[in-house]
Amino acid sequence: DQQVKQNSPSLSVQEGRISILNCDYTNSMFDYFLWYKKYPAEGPTFLISISSIKDKNEDGRFTVFLNKSAKHLSLHIVPSQPGDSAVYFCAAIITGSARQLTFGSGTQLTVLP
């Protein structure tokens, strides 16, 4: 039973436009969420995070939105650049107990020049 789901395995966006990556979760105990970016043959790199007490967190071109009632979060990248092409993983954690990250299956983002 996958507790964090990324239903879009791939997404293509034109350079300069907005990329929106989506993530859904089922476990209401998750209280902290992270996005990681992964290039081929490299490990995941932390991108941005959000606590469940917030509904938005912004860092430069990257913004994460959290809708707790819908158990849904999204990552917005504006404007998208070719260097953003990578696999993006959504992850969740229950901060009060075990500190393991629970990951989604990832979305391959391709930004077309």
Q: Which residues bind another protein (CB under 8 A)?
A: 2, 4, 32, 34, 36, 41-46, 49, 89, 93, 95, 98-106
Nearer to another protein, 24 or 104 (CB): 104
Min separation Cβ 1 and another protein, Å: 12
Min separation Cβ 32 and another protein, Å: 5
Nearer to another protein, 41 or 70 (CB): 41
Nearer to another protein, 15 or 102 (CB): 102
Structure tokens at 73: 């979060």
Residues 6+ apart with CB under 8 A from 41: none
Closest CA to 19 of 106, 84, 83: 84
Terminal alpha carbon distance of the chain = 38
